[in-house]
Structure 1
Amino acid sequence: MKIKRKLEIAVISDVHLGTYGCHAKHLLTYLNSIEPKKLILNGDIIDIWQFSKRYFPKSHLKVIKKIMTMASNGVEVIYITGNHDEMLRKFSNTTIGNISIVDKAVLDLHGKKAWFFHGDVFDVSIQHAKWLAKLGGYGYNFLILINRLFNWYLDKRGKARYSISSKLKNGVKGAIKYIHDFESVAAELAIENGYDYVVCGHIHQPKMEHFENKNGKTIYLNSGDWVENFTALEYQFKRWKIYNFSKDKLTPFSIEDEFNDLEYDNLNYLISAITIVDKPSNKKSN
């Protein structure tokens, strides 16, 4: 019996379908575990920059099919364009069924304003030297491929996985400064424009942090990626949480943690509010 968790919003970004670094099977497992009202795809879902007919495995196609199935079943899918799928920007503000393509989105969440966008608008290398950014993208993709082979070896030896690119990023002062500047600029713009939440992707760094200055305050959120971190953002019970596939598995929201913040009459109502039970089909599989 499969149990799916009900969510108001799930946010994923930086999946990079069509590249060796994409962990499509992990993402598919996650998508099969949730039942969101809204699914926000916050950029770089399909890596058109590095798309190749030679590499687009079935697992990557299954992710696309799953998203389409979710939309056909009533889930509102908001596709926010990023730099790696920027070709879709020519279709911005297009809606087909339950799927809409936009460059940014603003949602009202229980009286609070949430601003969603990918984040490449802050990247000077993309805005002014796109060829250099693409070259860097190919180098990153190669590094991820090497890292994947390395982790395959570690898995065989029963040892913990290791992220070479994360180690490099965390050890380079310039990279740390870039990430900090990205987060600060996004938060300051959100405060300036009166947004309670600002939700980004792009830098592959899952994060939730409160920012405050003399003009106000906001919560900065980043959904991370499905190349290294395998993370998503989830909104339920009027609060956000970072979902981590490697750590949380399929139970990131705890009933005990949330119960005191809710005004429900009984525990049974709460349990029914966060789960959907799919009964096993009677049809025999071929």
Structure 2
Amino acid sequence: MYYFASDIHLGAGDAATARAVERRFVAWLDDAARDAEAIFLVGDIFDFWFEYRRVVPKGFVRTLGKLAELTDRGVRVVFFTGNHDMWVGDYLARECGLEIHTSPEVMTLSGKKVFIAHGDNMKIDGQPMLKFLNRIFRSRTLRWLFSWGVHPDWALRFGHWWSGRSRKGHGEEAARGASLTEPYTGSSEPHTEPLVEYAREYSRTHAVDLFVFGHMHFPRDCREGRLHVVNLGCWAENPSYAVLDAAGELTLKMPGKTSV
């Protein structure tokens, strides 16, 4: 079994909310590890993450300890960076044993070719400001300047402020999804449609069986003929995860519900 989750946004919100989300996530990791061949964390696991050479963000001790425990036991944990945790260094790999990917990948799992990506920089050609910000935040030079020129306390304060601003934008757009008790399985959903369209275009020229995205905070299981796209929800709003079984069937799940 292969498990997928994204947009946990650890550290977001007030202290009580953040702690509750972390406990739920750690419990899920424990459950998934019972029969997991691999656990895929598809971006924005942290609401903000920035590593200095000798400093890592305060908090997340339960999550980091659990991830280290799982990889020590031989469970493969694969981490895809998102727009909130793109500034990962070597800490999660070296100390927690995670396999880090900073760009989309196609992997063969259960005999299926699975395209995995957070989805934050896809189908944004018509959004020049977003493209500009992506270029800034992914600049190695600016990352180096930020690391050497900004004290960690100020850097993390700025990072959490910016992350909160970004999350609020997602929350407003995905407000309709906040009351969902099961994944959306309709043929069209405007919020996640750009990623589905990306999958449609990509599958025309590449042999891919399944697509798994995060980022949009809205759980959706889209099936159009041979195209199958799963979009994972945000754990503070629409907790969800996906499971790929040994037969190659990908299922999007929410607490107490599964897609049909």
TM-score norm. by structure 2 comes to 0.66
CA shift for structure 1 position 11 = 0.6
Structure 1: runs of 5 or more not aligned: 1-7, 145-162, 171-175, 258-286
Partner-residue secondary structure (3-state), 1:120:
coil
| Percent of pairs with identical residues | 21
1:167 is aligned to 2:193: no
Residue 72 (structure 2) aligns with:
72
Distance 2:237 2:203 in 1: 27
Q: Is the 8 A contact 1:17 1:56 kept in 2?
A: no
- Structure 1 residues 190, 118: closer, same or farther in 2, change over 3 A? farther
1:244 is aligned to 2:254: yes
CA shift for structure 1 position 31 = 1.7
- Structure 1 residues 219, 96: closer, same or farther in 2, change over 3 A? farther
Distance 1:95 1:185 in 2: 33
Partner-residue secondary structure (3-state), 1:41:
strand
- Structure 1 residues 141, 201: closer, same or farther in 2, change over 3 A? closer
Per-residue Cα deviation, 1:15-36 (whole angstroms, up to 9, x for no partner): 1112116521221222222221
1:14 is aligned to 2:27: no
Distance 1:202 1:143 in 2: 12
Distance 1:79 1:143 in 2: 24
Q: Aligned partner of 2:108: which letter?
A: D
1:127 to 125, 128, 131: 131
Within a 5 Å distance, the mapping from 1:143-182 to structure 2 comes to 166-167=174-175, 177-182=190-195
Residue 164 (structure 2) aligns with:
138
- Structure 1 residues 12, 107: closer, same or farther in 2, change over 3 A? same
- Structure 1 residues 77, 50: closer, same or farther in 2, change over 3 A? closer
Residue 241 (structure 2) aligns with:
232
Distance 2:113 2:6 in 1: 20
Q: Aligned partner of 2:236: which letter?
A: V
Bigger Rg, structure 1 or 2: 1
Distance 1:233 1:189 in 2: 21
Residue 264 (structure 1) aligns with:
none
> What value does the CA root-mean-square deviation take over the aligned residues?
3.6
Residue 48 (structure 2) aligns with:
48
Distance 2:63 2:69 in 1: 10
CA shift for structure 1 position 186 = 2.5
Moved over 4 A (4+): 94-98, 134-137, 140-144
Distance 1:43 1:201 in 2: 7
- Structure having the higher strand fraction is 1
- Structure 1 residues 169, 17: closer, same or farther in 2, change over 3 A? same
CA shift for structure 1 position 187 = 3.2
